[in-house]
Amino acid sequence: MSTRSAVQAKPVETLGLAKALAAGLLIAACLLPAQGRAQDVIVSHGISTFGNLKYPADLAHLDYVNPDAPKGGEFSQWAFGTYDSLNPYAVQGVTAALVSMMYETILASTADEIGASYCYMCETMEYPADRSWVIFNLRKDVKFSDGSPLTAEDVVFSYNMVTEKGIAEFRAVFNEKIQSVEMLDPYKVKFTFVPGQPFRDLPATVGSLSIFSKADFEKNKWDFEKSNTVPFLGSGQYVIDSTKLGEQIIYRRNPDYWGNTHPLSVGVGNFDTIRVEYFADDTAAFEAFKTGLYTFRNENSSKKWAIEYNFPNLTDGWVKKEGIANGNIASGQAFLFNLRREKFQDPRVREAIGMMFNFEWSNETLFYGLYQRINSIWDNTQMAAVGPATPAEAAILQPLIDEGLLDASILADEAVMAPVSSKDTQLDRAALRKASALLDEAGWAVGEDGIRRNAKGEALVIEFLEDSPSFERVIAPYVENLKALGIDAKLTIVDAAQMSQRSDPPAFDFDIIVGNAINGYEPGGELQQAYSTATKDNSTRNRAGFANPAVDKLLDVVLAADTRESLDVAVQALDRVLRSTRFWVPQWYKSVYTVAYYDVFGRPEAPPKYALGEMSLWWYDTEKADKLKAAGILK
DSSP string, 73-105: SEEEEEEES---BS-TT-SSS-BPTTGGGGS-B
534 and 430 co-located in one domain: yes
Angle between helices 391-402 and 549-560 (to 10 degrees): 140
What does the radius of gyration of the chain's CA atoms come to, in whole angstroms?
Answer: 25
The C-alpha atoms of residue 34 and residue 31 are separated, in whole angstroms, by 9
* Residue 69 is assigned to a structural domain of this protein: no
Instruction: Please count the CA atoms within 13 angstroms of the CA of 219 that sit on its side-chain side.
Output: 7
389 and 482 co-located in one domain: yes
* Residue 538 is assigned to a structural domain of this protein: yes
37 and 115 co-located in one domain: yes
The C-alpha atoms of residue 119 and residue 534 are separated, in whole angstroms, by 32
450 and 568 co-located in one domain: yes
The C-alpha atoms of residue 494 and residue 491 are separated, in whole angstroms, by 10
Predicted local distance difference test score (pLDDT) of residue 55: 97
CA distances from 28 to 115, 126, 204 (A): 6, 14, 5
* Residue 73 is assigned to a structural domain of this protein: no
580 and 433 co-located in one domain: yes
Instruction: Name the CA dihedral angle for 257, 259, 261, 266, rounded to a multiple of 10 degrees.
Output: -100
CA distances from 516 to 278, 342, 497, 589 (A): 23, 22, 19, 12
* Order of all β-strands in the sheet with 273-279: 74-80, 273-279, 248-253, 238-244
The C-alpha atoms of residue 4 and residue 468 are separated, in whole angstroms, by 9
Residue 620: Cβ within 10 Å count: 21
CA distances from 426 to 311, 419, 423, 507 (A): 31, 14, 7, 34
404 and 489 co-located in one domain: yes
Contact by Cβ (8 Å): 101, 18: no
378 and 394 co-located in one domain: yes
Q: Which helix (H) or strand (E) holds 107?
A: strand 107-108
CATH of the domain at 209: 3.40.190.10
Beta pairing partners, 252: 239, 273
Contact by Cβ (8 Å): 324, 607: yes
The three-class DSSP label of residue 33 is: coil
Domain boundary among 220, 246, 278: 220
User: Is-cis flag, bond preceding 419, omega within 30?
Assistant: no
42 and 177 co-located in one domain: yes
Please list, in sequence order, all residues whose beta carbon lies within 8 angstroms of the beta carbon of residue 39, skipping any fewer than 6 positions away: none
* Global confidence as pTM: 0.79
* Residue 156 is assigned to a structural domain of this protein: yes
CA distances from 22 to 14, 159, 624 (A): 11, 16, 33
582 and 439 co-located in one domain: yes
Contact by Cβ (8 Å): 152, 54: no
DSSP summary character for residue 462: E
The C-alpha atoms of residue 324 and residue 337 are separated, in whole angstroms, by 33
CATH of the domain at 365: 3.10.105.10
279 and 304 co-located in one domain: yes
- Parallel, antiparallel or unpaired: strands 188-193 and 133-138: antiparallel
Domain boundary among 176, 205, 220: 220
* Residue 474 is assigned to a structural domain of this protein: yes
Cα 386 to chain center, whole Å?
24
Domain that residue 323 falls in: 255-328+591-630
Q: Is 599 exposed, middle or buried (0-12, 13-18, 19+ CB in 10 A)?
A: middle
* Residue 225 is assigned to a structural domain of this protein: no
Q: Which amino acid is at 527?
A: L
Predicted local distance difference test score (pLDDT) of residue 169: 63
* Residue 13 is assigned to a structural domain of this protein: no
The three-class DSSP label of residue 178 is: strand
Q: What is the mean pLDDT of each run of 10 residues along the chain (635 residues)?
A: 35 35 32 43 95 94 97 97 92 91 97 94 97 97 98 97 80 83 98 92 93 97 92 98 96 97 97 97 95 96 92 97 90 96 98 98 94 94 96 98 98 97 97 98 96 97 94 96 98 94 95 96 88 92 96 95 94 98 96 95 92 97 97 94
Q: Provide the domain count of the chain.
A: 3
* Residue 425 is assigned to a structural domain of this protein: yes
Hey, what long-range contacts does 474-483 have (CB within 8 A, 24 or more apart)?
474/6, 474/7, 474/362, 474/366, 477/358, 477/361, 477/362, 477/426, 478/356, 478/357, 478/358, 480/426, 480/427, 481/356, 481/357, 481/358, 481/426, 481/427, 481/432, 482/353, 482/356
Contact by Cβ (8 Å): 187, 97: no
462 and 382 co-located in one domain: yes
46 and 137 co-located in one domain: yes
Contact by Cβ (8 Å): 496, 30: no
Would you mind telling me the total number of residues written for the chain in this entry?
635
Residue 112: Cβ within 10 Å count: 19
The C-alpha atoms of residue 110 and residue 519 are separated, in whole angstroms, by 18
CA angle (496 as vertex; 324, 237 as ends), nearest 5: 55
Domain boundary among 175, 203, 220: 220
**Closest by CA position to 92, among listed 393, 500, 489, 422:** 500
